[in-house]
Structure 1
Amino acid sequence: MYMKRNVTDKFTGAAVSCDIISTGSWYGDLPDCVPSEVKVNREDYYIDEIQHISIKETISVTYDIKWNHISKPIEGKIESLTTKKYSIEENQKNYLLELMGRRFSDNCILYDEDECSVQVQLINTEEEKFTYAFPFDNDMRSMSILFRQILGEPTLLLFDGNREKDRIQEIYIEVQKNIYQDYGDVNTLCFRWNEASISIDCNSTQFGYSSHSHSEYVDAQMIHQLKRDINFHLGDTLYNLKAFSFSKSHELDMDPARGGIVTVRIKWAHKEDTLFIGNLTDQYVPTWYKNLISFIRTHSRDKSVEAFLQSNHKSDRSLYTYCSVYIFKAHQEFYYRTDRNDIYEGDIVKVPFGSDNAVRTGRVESISYHTCYDVPYNLNRTKFIIDKDVEVIYDKNPYGFDAIYDEQK
């Protein structure tokens, strides 16, 4: 471990008191005592929280706050913002002091003072003072976790800086896809932090199916690993999400049917709920959301989680030609598609008709052009015109061609 020492000797003797001063970035809302100028222009300042842990006859934690402008010589500090005292048994306190003495009795290497985020001051039974300064060190994470557990305070910076800013209580996700015409897919996922289950519901109006997956079979180890991955890899990102956000997109992609609408609501133990709303398109869906779904899919092994990701196909901006064709034998109009540019209103055409796709003749009543999001009939179920009928009408009629011709009139 790299350290700067203000004394020449490593710690000796038995520790009777200890002071730990840690400095890290401030998270969450700023307290009322901070000037409004700093609150309004928060992005222009480096805002730090200073935690002073004192282990003497009692254990106390004092929280301070300080700020520096990024470019201007403006700074400020509020000392003793709040102080908390902790009651622990005498043997636990002595155990912590013993651990500290043993940890800093090792040989230490000097470290640049400007890079130090932690200062530790130990006093032994001979009233000798030993002071060490070093950056946050993950090698001391186990000791940091022990301190947090004994004091029951997960937000302490301590030696590793890996404090728990807030606890997630629930992640709720809703994805709406295919929101055009009468179709719509609504998929919901709920992961409650204190329950060993993930509830997933997938409902499709377009394809007429629904499924429900309540993964109570998921073992506790899987849930533990899933929560650990989310906290470790996405904790800061989820905590810092804005209360409401709608991803910017090109005007052609504003139609939610192109990918869908995703809503993520995160409930916290202390801060207000975080609500994220955005377009579920491959270009605009955020990386943290993809990673979140990836973690849930990997640990739960539930294939239905795929419904919460964007579609793999590219955005379709093509125009499709729809013809309303009057079928003589059926005496009704039906929609057909065509890729030809030589079909006009009034043309006689051959089309597939019915479940057996029997060839029928009809007359083109109207022609219209659509994107895949405003088609008059399902794009994938609309049949194509076979050909223009310029010579013979194939619908056999006992009265011959003239009878059909009169009907066309």
Structure 2
Amino acid sequence: MTDFKKICAFSDKWLKKFSDKKPKLFDLMDYSMAEECMELGFSLERGHEFIRKYGQASEKLANLKEIIEDINEINLLGSVIFLKWRYFNHWSYDQSEILKEDNINWFILALSHLYHLAAKNEFLFKGEIKSIILKSDAMVFGLGPEEGQVFGQDIYLDIKGKVSIKSYKYTRQVGTKNVERCDFKIGIRETLKIFYELKKYFECKYDPFELMIMDAGSWDAVIENTAGEKYSFNGPLIKKYHKDLDYLSTLIRTSLGRRDLFAFNGDAKTDRIKKIAIDYSRTTEDPINYLLYYLEPLKIVYEYKESLVIDREADTIEHIKTIGEGRKISQKFEVEGLIDNIFEDFEEEDLFKEVEGNPGGAVDIPCDIRKYKITIDYEKKPQLVIEGDFDKRGLPKEFSDFAARLQDSINLCNFEEILNPKFYKKVRRLKDQYIYCSLAFGSSKKTYYYRTEDDNIEEGDLVIVPVGSDNHEAEALVVKVEYFNKEEVPFPLNKTKFIIEKYDD
């Protein structure tokens, strides 16, 4: 078993010798280098294996710099350090060549990386998780919390599903601690899922050398394995800093049923939106270009309205369009989890709160008035109403991103077939008919006939086909699908190539 602590000590010792302002040949040629390498399992044979893998050029400083970040095999790296040292110690005509700047820096680079790899492995988790204590501190330097605001949390979870959560609330009263504690249990399935994902991250992905970010909160975790060994980890409490930690945080909140947990990324939600209603109106005036009895010119006023109601509890999105009087069009989308997915991309508690507004010099268009009203209902907070001019400055700053996200979601639900000629004009193939597809390559408008026996290939599909005398594979677009009897085929059966398969991205 690799002893990472000993490798760290070895790397540190020899780094100090090679990093000396004036390295001494006597110190660098100390035969304890060979003894320590062999004790750690490094060998000359594996040093040659390193060179076979990374090339002879890896013995040069410039080339090692290019590949050093890709090297993660500790035994190979330690062995090539041993091999290069052995060259100067045993085979070189002049041992003092090791004192050349490039050679000194080669050893410094290799030993530093060896230390980094060993130390990282020393800190990484090993074994099976028995319990975890996760402490999250959301206090940020210079930003004081409000009275009663939660600024820290402790989460305890063990293999039996026992959960204990402590929430620390800020209070200005000296000598008073405002702590809320909640104890409960979760299912074994949920517990094992959390522990599986924690183990996957902390046994290979965690980086103990990552720089701590000072203007953010922090998290500290102590994970105990079933052998009773404890491992400590820490990091910054920042959303979207590590996708793995974002995922772990979401998993913990979901499994524990607590959206208000800081976890690893601080993305706690103390409230959420229940419903959003967006109302839009456009009033257009068209003047009639003649006077009647010398009075004011007549005007025709058109009114157009739209409304979107996003109801989280019902999991529905309803769109209503009103054109003048007596003409109302509505559609309703009901897709499980759709609204939660949409809101996941936004900070719900602050959604639509920032509105730039039009400056005093903005020009009004009296004959074309567009207004909006947004009504947001929360689970806890009072209702929020925002209204104004329906333009870029008048709308909330996040409206554009929200509208695009909503449009994408609605488009995914629009698969109407009842009025689509692609379906109602489709003719079923007869048993004795052959399928010929007209295919286009790239941007060319010219098409070529190919055959298929796959009735599922349709117009608009991408397919893989043989091309040229060597029949190399290429992608093509199906422009048209036709059925022909044997005597009516547009190209001889024995000369028409077959489509290999649909293109799978």
Give the TM-score normalised by structure 2: 0.44
Counterpart Cα distance in 2 of 1:84 and 1:164: 17
Identify the residue that residue 61 of structure 2 maps to in structure 1: none
Match for residue 59 of structure 1?
163
Find the residue that maps to 1:293 and give its secondary structure.
Answer: helix
| Maintained 8 Å contact 2:312/2:339 | no
Task: Report the CA distance shift for 1:192/1:99 in structure 2 as closer, same or farther (over 3 A).
Answer: closer
1:265 to 371, 375, 378: 375
**Deviation of residue 95 (structure 1)?**
5.8
Q: 1:158 aligns with which of 263, 266, 285?
A: 263
Cα deviations by residue, 1:237-260 (Å, 9 ceiling, x for unpaired): x52157797934326657886542
**Which residue of structure 1 aligns with residue 230 of structure 2?**
129
Q: 1:191 aligns to what?
A: 310
Match of 1:50 in 2: 152
Match for 1:247 among 343, 357, 372?
A: 357
User: What is the aligned partner in structure 2 of residue 228 from structure 1?
Assistant: 341
**Separation in 2, partners of 1:256, 1:189:** 26
Contact 1:245 1:277 in 2 (8 A): no
291 and 10 in structure 1: CA distance in 2 versus 1, 3 angstrom threshold:
closer
Correspondent of 1:171 among 267, 276, 281: 276
1:113 corresponds in structure 2 to 212
**What is the CA-CA distance between 1:163 and the residue it aligns to?**
4.2
* Equivalence map 1:275-286=2 (5 Å): 275-286=385-396
**Which residue type is aligned with residue 154 of structure 2?**
H
Q: Give the secondary-structure state (helix, strand or coil) at the position aligned to 1:286.
A: coil
Indicate how the Cα distance of structure 1 residues 193 and 242 shifts in structure 2: closer, same or farther if over 3 A, else same.
closer
2:132 to 1, 4, 18: 18
Rate the CA distance shift 1:149–1:100 in 2: closer, same or farther, 3 A.
Answer: same
1:84 deviates by 2.1
- Whether the 8 Å CA contact 1:119–1:132 is kept in 2: the answer is yes
What SS is found at the alignment partner of 1:214? strand
Residues 53/184 of structure 1: CA separation in 2 closer, same or farther (3 Å cut): same
Which deviates the most, 92-101 or 278-287?
92-101
Shift of 1:53: 0.7
| Aligned length, in residue pairs | 268
For the 8 Å contact 1:204–1:210, the answer to whether it is kept is: yes
Whether the aligned pair in 2 keeps the contact of 1:243 and 1:273 (CA below 8 Å) is: no
Amino acid at match of 1:285: L
Contact 1:7 1:131 in 2 (8 A): no
Cα separation, 2, equivalents of 1:103 and 1:281: 45
Distance 1:254 1:294, change over 3 A: same
Tell me how far apart the structure 2 counterparts of residues 133 and 53 of structure 1 sit (CA, whole Å).
14
Match of 1:305 in 2: none
Q: CA RMSD in A?
A: 4.3
The answer to whether the Cα contact below 8 Å between 2:273 and 2:379 also exists between their aligned partners in 1 is: yes
Between Structure 1 and Structure 2, the one with more helix by share is 2
Kindly indicate whether residue 412 of structure 2 is the aligned counterpart of residue 296 of structure 1: no
Q: 1:283 to 1:256 in 2, by over 3 A?
A: farther
The Cα offsets for residues 154-183 of structure 1, whole Å up to 9 and x where unpaired, read as 232323444445332211011232287865
Normalized per residue, the structure richer in strand is 1
Helix, strand or coil at the partner of 2:253: helix
**Partner letter of residue 278 of structure 1?**
G
Q: TM-score, normalised by structure 1?
A: 0.52
CA distance in 2, matches of 1:209, 1:253: 33
**d(CA) in 2 for partners of 1:224, 1:51:** 28
Mapping of residues 83-94 of structure 1, within 5 Å: 83-89=181-187, 92-93=190-191
Gaps of 5+ in 1: 35-47, 68-73, 303-409
Q: Note if contact 2:136-2:152 (Cα within 8 Å) is conserved in structure 1.
A: yes
**Residues 241, 274 of structure 1: 8 Å contact kept:** no
Deviation readout 1:205-258 (Å, 9 max, x if unpaired): 4xx56322122xx462xx7456523431xx21x521577979343266578865
Aligned partners of 2:258 and 2:121: how far apart in 1?
31
Q: Decide whether the 8 Å contact of 1:20 with 1:121 is kept in 2.
A: yes
Counting aligned pairs with the same residue, the percent is 15
| Residue aligned with 1:113, SS | coil
Give the Cα–Cα distance (whole angstroms) in 2 for the partners of residues 6 and 77 of structure 1: 41
Relative contact order (alpha carbons < 8 A, sep ≥ 6): 1 or 2 greater?
Answer: 1
1:400 corresponds to which residue? none
Distance 1:118 1:250, change over 3 A: same
1:149 aligns with 2:262: no
